[in-house]
Amino acid sequence: MTARGAEKPAGRRAGTAPQQAQPTSRREILDVAARCLRQRGYRATTLRDIAAMVGIKAGSVYYHFASKEEIVAAVMNDGVDNVFDAVTGALAALPAGATPRQRLEAAISAHLNALLAFSDYTSAGLKAFADAPEAVRQSAKPHRRRYEAVWMTLIEELAQAGATPPGVSAETLQLALLGMMNWSPEWYRPGRHSIERLAREFTSLFLRAS
């Protein structure tokens, strides 16, 4: 899995020079598309916009991709794989004897960071999914299922350790937790909220007093 993220394309254009000479890469187009999709959603993101931001004309995009749907599907799927890597990586990096609280907080923190700070791809995928054509949504399904399984496994592990609140099913726990996090782009403001603090507080909600 290669690098995917919110980083700007390599500094090909020196300073403010508006013209370019180097050829455009697929990744460069995807980076710009992810940023657009995140900000504006599926319908409001146009190939003209993307092309202009990359420094080429709209027609030239079709040298790299067969359709808008192909671009959106690539962004969405990279986005899900992105959080998947972030969350599984964070869990794997914990010491063997980590507490339920440490594991849940690490996973929540990784998810929030991908969504709110690191990856235009991840937030673009969330925002564009509902409006994307059926074919795009279908192609995203396996990626999403794989990611959801990570959370289901984690929650069941916590439940078996007796760490989750009583009277709430694992399924509801998962839906509530992901919903709480996935809605956060609607209200999160970088200067106003601290991701680490949010992760800590969100974690408290899903563990019985510990």
Partner DNA sequence: GTCTATATGAAGATAGAC
Partner DNA sequence: GTCTATCTTCATATAGAC
Site residues, DNA (CB under 7 A)? 22-24, 45-49, 51, 55-60, 62-64, 66-69
Q: Are 116 and 196 in contact (CB under 8 A)?
A: no
Q: How far is the CB of 82 from DNA (least distance, A)?
A: 23
Q: How far is the CB of 135 from DNA (least distance, A)?
A: 11
Instruction: Please spell the DSSP secondary structure of 48-113, one letter per residue.
Output: HHHHHHHTS-GGGHHHH-S-HHHHHHHHHHHHHHHHHHHHHHHHHTS-TT--HHHHHHHHHHHHHH
186 makes contact with its own copies (CB under 8 A) = yes
Helix axes 195-206, 170-182, angle to 10 degrees: 160
Q: Between residue 70 and residue 109, which ones bind its own copies under the rule CB under 8 A?
A: none
Tokens of 4: 């995917």
CA distance 91 to 88: 5
170 makes contact with its own copies (CB under 8 A) = no
Q: Are 198 and 112 in contact (CB under 8 A)?
A: yes
111 makes contact with its own copies (CB under 8 A) = no
206 makes contact with its own copies (CB under 8 A) = yes
CA distance 4 to 118: 10
43 makes contact with its own copies (CB under 8 A) = yes
Q: How far is the CB of 133 from DNA (least distance, A)?
A: 9
41 makes contact with its own copies (CB under 8 A) = yes
- Return the number of the residue (72 or 173) whose C-beta is nearest DNA: 72
Q: How far is the CB of 19 from DNA (least distance, A)?
A: 9
Q: Are 177 and 206 in contact (CB under 8 A)?
A: yes
Q: Are 180 and 202 in contact (CB under 8 A)?
A: yes
Q: How far is the CB of 187 from DNA (least distance, A)?
A: 28
Considering CB distances under 5 to 8 angstroms, the limit depending on partner class, which of its own copies, DNA, none binds residue 57?
A: DNA
Considering CB distances under 5 to 8 angstroms, the limit depending on partner class, which of DNA, its own copies, none binds residue 201?
A: its own copies
Q: Are 74 and 30 in contact (CB under 8 A)?
A: yes
196 makes contact with its own copies (CB under 8 A) = no
The binding site for its own copies (CB under 8 A) comprises 40-44, 127, 130-131, 165-169, 172, 175-176, 178-184, 186-187, 198, 200-202, 204-206, 208-209
